[in-house]
Chains A and B, each alone.
Chain A
């Protein structure tokens, strides 16, 4: 019976060609506009580490004091160096790492090759197991390397390709800012977007890729300065990078892994106790004002998804709704013209559900065709986005089978939805109608 309805729908669509083209175009453009913006939105709002994002937390400690810059009494978004080091020393989470952003020059061995800049982070050993960083070669450095301020480095597969031709470079050394570091690990195409572990310094979405990861104590020792945001509520008492380390300026990002709710509440208590002890020691003259946000909460709080992305998605959805209303109207008009045929079919013995099925399938076919058109337009739209949008956002909107399948599915589902009322009306056409010929 299904094949019969498909055949009927095909005839009917072919008969009113102009109208069919209009409906297909409406659905195609509507679904393409929605799916293109959705592709960007989904990429921008996706969970960068879905398997454990709920276990990752960002602690905030109020080092600025009430009314200092923040109107809503929120503590600073980063930690001061002393606070971050105290948290590292106490080691209360399963894994934890303080971090800061680097921009360093790498001098290649090869004679005649120019030095070049790479981005990276200074982190602790806990960073790697905490974020499940995949390794192509070697592994993370050890806690002992942190303590001994070892000159070791984990490099990206990208940098490994550039410096060592992609081979196993573990044990070899690279010159960073004039000092040699021994490669202990090469990450395996690890480049999360957004760069969720340090959204303050990277803004989340960035064209930047971390090519080098160095133990934070070693980076401090080597006087490798931070490239990120530094926020000071008071001027540093001492000049220079050392002065920054002693100041109340915030510039250190921090992340901790807490595996159970018990651990989370224990960690909260710990933060409060720490802040209270600092208050008692006279470092802060205000009561504890801490936050412990989970990664999803943190990304939301930091507005990592650009609001333009959200607004465009809404507008595109609005456009899609209009396309549906348009299609519903045209299907209804079409039905009105065909009520004679429906009356005859009913008289000949077609039950209501047969008429209903016939019209729903016709709508579904419009949706299918519109969806295929939408698929092509979505591909064009995503490509156009790459031209028009800033690269750090546009790069995210990837074309894949899933997106295409979703486009067709959404188009069909939506058109069938739009066709429900017209089909309902069609199924209720009285069989007697056309008999009144006198």
Chain B
């Protein structure tokens, strides 16, 4: 489903070359729920932006759903993001001008879907997250947990092959976070592939498999988890 091999990402400025990812390899199978953990500055967010085709990479290869995405142009990348990937952001990133219904509609609009089909999907996905009664509400009128549910509904509406979540509970209190997490688990049980980035070890245990990232490299040792977070959290960001 998502396969990166020896992938690297270098940020170059006039004076320094910084490796955000180095010889990064990961293989996520269809239907898996993978948690990517690591301390601040470890490169896990860079991994997510590259996985979501929001950024390009410097070396290695990346196949998404069997397609080599390294040479695609901006338009093709937009199309893949729109059709195959669903995003769930820590800050929800709902568009404040649009109400719940219209927010969920955004990806469907860019897919050029007919109105009836859009409506069906929006209703389905909002029902899925339990917010079908709040269609006309604006993001500012919802609680954080509700906002994140809308964001999840938006990610689900396009029936993506892959869900990418970036600290989905980072801005939520414990109770709300639990609700959102349970929702993600449900979605996974129904067959979705989910890749979640988090630095919360507790959250990571909910996933099927954990991938640990330190200094831009995969350290696939689950037992090191406690050690690495406490040690490397002190490192300054790359």
Contact = CB atoms under 8 A, between A and B. Distances in A.
Interface string A89-106: 000000000000000000
A430 B98 contact: no
A349 B79 contact: yes
A165 interface: no
Given A11-B98, A435-B89, A435-B166, 12 more contacts: A1-B109, A4-B109, A345-B95, A347-B54, A348-B106, A349-B78, A349-B79, A350-B106, A350-B110, A353-B75, A434-B93, A437-B167
A42 B112 CA distance: 46
Contact of B166 (A15, A345, A352, A437): A437
Interface string A321-341: 000000000000000000011
Secondary structure at the A interface, as helix, strand, loop or mixed, is helix
A246 to B, nearest CB: 86
Contact of B167 (A352, A434, A438): A438
Contacts of B154: 348
A432 B77 CA distance: 13
A438 B79 CA distance: 27
A349 B89 contact: no
A163 to B, nearest CB: 70
A150 B83 CA distance: 91
A422 B175 CA distance: 43
B145 interface: no
B109 A436 contact: no
A341 B98 CA distance: 11
A68 interface: no
Interface size classification for chain B? 35 or more
Interface of A: 1, 4, 8, 11-12, 15, 340-341, 343-354, 430-432, 434-438
Contact of A349 (B49, B97, B107): B107
Interface string B76-115: 0011111101010111010111100000001101111000
B75 A351 contact: yes
Interface string B154-172: 1000100000001100100
Contacts of B110: 345, 348-351, 354
B196 to A, nearest CB: 14
A388 to B, nearest CB: 45
A350 B54 contact: no
B2 interface: no
A222 B54 CA distance: 94
Question: Which of B45, B109, B111, B154 lies at the interface centre, i.e. has the most chain A CB atoms within 10 A of its CB?
Answer: B109
B78 A434 contact: no
Contacts of B107: 348-349
B97 A15 contact: yes
A349 B81 contact: yes
B40 interface: yes
Instruction: Kindly name the residue among B45, B78, B81, B107 whose own CB sees the greatest number of chain A CB atoms within 10 A.
Output: B78
18 contacts: A1-B109, A8-B97, A15-B97, A341-B95, A341-B97, A344-B89, A344-B93, A345-B106, A346-B54, A346-B78, A347-B52, A347-B93, A348-B82, A349-B107, A349-B110, A430-B55, A437-B89, A438-B167
A435 B82 contact: no
Contacts of B111: 349
Give the residue among B54, B91, B96, B98 with the most A Cβ atoms within 10 A.
B54
Q: Which 3 A-B pairs have CB atoms at the shortest separation, nearest pair first? A: A349-B82, A432-B54, A351-B78
A1 B109 CA distance: 7
A435 B81 contact: no
Given A1-B109, A431-B54, A347 B170 contact: no
